[in-house]
């Protein structure tokens, strides 16, 4: 599906300052990046697995020498507000002027929040996205300077170079959400040894999220050839690398390819000027449902939640247009000439469910071992998710989400 030449010519591209180091012993460049940022007190934040079961903190301390300011090693799943508060206090006590996130999505997201809390003077509850009753949601502007962030990635997470933050808080009926472009990393490290520390189960989950995002993105039409190129390459990398990474768990190369896929998908999203106005209905619904699932149940990962809901959500959501359905079916290898949009969409959903099962992922909500009576609560949880549904909460959304959950059960 190639656009005609008359479709091209008017588009936007955005670039953010960053440096990337990948491969064997990529961490040898960490000291120079901290120095380049002008930092003297680099503070490491990670989870317990990285802190207690790997040598990554010791490697980082060796590379940084006197610039190593300490470590907080208690970041938890889904970046809970209490853990982020504790990490912020620890970083402040060590007079940190640069933050190093070592881990996957929860750690990287949590470190963005730490940077916000260190930089901004207001209450975290005033700084987060607000959901006024009967009015559209809005995100306050966060204008204060933030300490620079370096991300040492241990699993191919789509969070690695984004600017949005979501914290789990069991005292609220939604995540604490923030958006601040100043929390994008100044440097990324895809160190081979660091990436091999992630267990296969975590790799499968994060790789599934990366692959799924890349697949949904290629169905969208764009007149920006840079964006289109990033989308296509992200999917090619993810589709090839995910099964290989699972088959060869000691091989860092496919894990690096999955990191590249996540990075390219994020870069394409930055250049997609229509992402807020021309939303992927199936993708938005699946994202809201998956987020609610993995936040409510600690034993459910984002990848597992996504694979459990997306095929059925696709079957029950009309594609945005005939070309979108054809592009997705083409990407999954099930497109046939003369297919209607609905037939192509159904074939894609079946192929996607089969792919998920082939890599050991769930393809139904019932596969997640959650109580069926919790479905209404999960549907209610989708009402306040800014990425999936910015602005006003549509009437009847909870009922629609519950119907999708029931169908996906």
The token pair at 57 is 């903190």
Give average pLDDT by consecutive 10-residue segment, the chain, 409 residues: 52 86 97 97 97 97 97 93 97 98 96 97 93 84 96 94 91 90 96 97 95 88 84 94 97 97 90 63 88 91 95 87 86 91 92 96 95 94 75 75 95
Q: Does 110 reside within a domain?
A: yes
> Which residues constitute the domain of residue 396?
280-409
Q: Does 3 reside within a domain?
A: no
Angle, helices 281-296 vs 397-408, to 10°: value is 80
- Report CA torsion sign: 34, 35, 38, 40: positive
Last residue of a domain, one of 176, 195, 214: 195
Q: For residues 232 and 294, state if they share a domain.
A: no
Q: Does 141 reside within a domain?
A: yes
Q: Does 78 reside within a domain?
A: yes
Q: pTM, whole model, 2 decimals?
A: 0.91
SS3 344: helix
The token pair at 239 is 């589709």
Q: For residues 300 and 353, state if they share a domain.
A: yes
Q: Does 329 reside within a domain?
A: yes
Phi, psi of 68 (to 5 degrees): -80, 120
Q: Does 5 reside within a domain?
A: no
Secondary structure (DSSP) of 191-216: EHHHHTTS-HHHHHHHHHHHHHHHHH
């Amino acid at each position: 599906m190639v656009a005609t030449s008359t479709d091209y010519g008017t588009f936007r591209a955005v670039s953010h300052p960053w440096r990337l180091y990948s491969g064997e012993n990529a961490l040898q460049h960490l000291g120079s990046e901290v120095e380049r940022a002008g930092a003297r007190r680099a503070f490491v934040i990670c989870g317990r697995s990285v802190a207690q079961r790997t040598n990554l903190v010791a490697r980082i301390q060796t590379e940084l020498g006197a610039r190593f300011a300490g470590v907080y090693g208690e970041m938890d799943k889904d970046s809970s507000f209490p853990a982020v508060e504790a990490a912020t206090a620890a970083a402040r006590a060590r007079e940190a002027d640069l933050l190093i996130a070592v881990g996957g999505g929860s750690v990287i997201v949590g470190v963005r929040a730490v940077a916000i809390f260190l930089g901004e003077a207001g209450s975290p509850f005033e700084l987060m996205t607000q959901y006024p009753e009967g009015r559209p949601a809005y995100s306050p502007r966060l204008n204060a300077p933030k300490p620079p962030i370096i991300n040492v990635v241990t699993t191919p997470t789509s969070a690695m170079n984004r600017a949005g933050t979501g914290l789990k808080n069991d005292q609220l009926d939604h995540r604490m959400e923030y958006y601040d472009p100043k929390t994008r990393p100044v440097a990324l490290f895809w160190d081979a040894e660091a990436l091999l520390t992630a267990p296969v189960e975590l790799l499968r989950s994060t790789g599934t999220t990366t692959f799924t995002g890349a697949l949904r993105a290629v169905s969208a039409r764009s007149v920006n050839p840079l964006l289109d190129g990033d989308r296509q390459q992200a999917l090619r990398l993810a589709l090839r690398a995910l099964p290989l990474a699972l088959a060869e768990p000691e091989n860092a190369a496919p894990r690096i390819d999955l990191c590249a896929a996540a990075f390219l998908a994020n870069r394409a999203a930055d250049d997609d000027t229509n992402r807020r106005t021309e939303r992927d209905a199936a993708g938005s619904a699946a994202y809201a449902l998956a987020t609610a699932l993995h936040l409510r149940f600690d034993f459910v990962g984002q990848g597992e939640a996504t694979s459990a809901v997306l095929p059925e959500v696709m079957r029950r959501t009309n594609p945005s247009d005939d070309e979108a359905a054809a592009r997705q079916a083409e990407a999954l290898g099930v497109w046939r000439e003369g297919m209607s949009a609905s037939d192509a969409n159904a074939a894609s959903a079946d192929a996607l469910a089969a792919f998920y099962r082939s890599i050991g992922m769930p393809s139904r909500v019932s596969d997640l071992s959650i109580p069926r009576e919790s479905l209404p609560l999960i549907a209610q949880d989708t009402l306040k998710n800014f990425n999936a549904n910015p602005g006003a909460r549509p009437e009847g959304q909870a009922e629609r989400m519950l119907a999708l959950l029931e169908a996906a059960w």
